[in-house]
C-alpha cells in the first residue's frame, strides 16, 4: 500500500476514533486515570505513573486528553510504518499498518485512556531510532536515548 493512500486513510481513521471517543461517556478506567492525575505520585500499584502524568499534561480539559489517545494511535501507526519500511519495503510496511489497525486490541487501546498506547508508541519509536542508529545515523542515538526512559515509566 502506498503512502499517498495510507496517510489519508490513517487520518480518516483517527478522526473517526476521535469522534467515537467524544460521543461516548467516560469509562471507569479513564475516570481512574483522571483522578490519579490530580494526585501525582512516582509509582502506582496497578499501572505506570506515566499515564497519569500524560493526562495531567492536558490540565483540566479531560476531553482533550481523551482525544489525544487516537492521535497516539496515529503516531503508533506511523512509527510502525517507518520501522517496517526501513527493514523491508513500502508495500509491506503499508499492509503491516493496515493489519495493525485491524487488531481489536489496538483499536481498544487507541480509543481509551490507558497505559498501552503510550508504551506502544514509545517502543515503536525506539525501534525506529534503534534501526536508524544501526544504519549509522548519529542523530538517532538522541531519539533512542529519549525513548528508553519513556518506556520505563
Which DSSP state fits 27?
A: P
Burial of 2 (0-12, 13-18, 19+ CB in 10 A): exposed
Do the beta carbons of residue 128 and residue 79 sit within 8 Å?
A: yes
pLDDT at residue 43 in the model: 65
pLDDT at residue 65 in the model: 86
- pTM of the predicted protein model: 0.84
> How many percent of the chain have pLDDT more than 90?
31
30 falls in which pLDDT band (50, 70, 90)?
confident
pLDDT at residue 127 in the model: 84
Do the beta carbons of residue 35 and residue 113 sit within 8 Å?
A: no
Residues 48-101: tens digit of each pLDDT: 667 778 888 888 888 888 899 999 999 999 999 989 998 999 999 999 999 999
Residues 36-48: tens digit of each pLDDT: 888 877 666 666 6
Biggest CA pair distance of the chain: 47
Cell of 9: 486513510
Alpha-carbon torsion (51, 52, 56, 60), positive or negative: positive
| 107 has pLDDT over 60 | yes
Query: What is the rounded average pLDDT for all residues in the chain?
Result: 83
Amino acid at each position: 500500500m502506498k503512502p499517498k493512500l495510507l496517510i489519508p486513510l490513517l487520518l480518516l481513521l483517527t478522526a473517526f476514533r476521535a469522534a467515537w471517543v467524544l460521543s461516548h461517556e467516560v469509562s471507569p478506567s479513564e475516570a481512574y486515570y483522571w483522578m490519579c492525575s490530580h494526585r501525582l505520585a512516582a509509582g502506582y500499584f496497578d499501572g505506570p505513573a506515566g499515564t497519569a502524568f500524560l493526562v495531567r499534561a492536558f490540565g483540566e480539559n479531560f476531553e482533550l486528553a481523551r482525544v489525544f489517545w487516537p492521535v497516539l494511535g496515529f503516531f503508533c501507526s506511523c512509527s510502525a510504518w517507518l520501522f517496517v519500511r526501513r527493514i523491508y519495503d513500502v508495500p509491506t510496511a503499508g499492509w503491516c499498518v493496515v493489519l495493525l489497525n485491524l487488531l481489536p486490541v489496538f483499536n481498544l487501546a487507541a480509543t481509551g485512556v490507558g497505559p498501552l498506547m503510550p508504551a506502544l508508541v514509545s517502543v515503536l519509536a525506539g525501534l525506529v531510532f534503534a534501526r536508524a542508529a544501526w544504519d549509522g545515523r548519529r542523530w538517532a542515538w538522541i531519539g533512542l536515548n529519549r525513548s528508553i526512559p519513556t518506556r520505563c515509566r
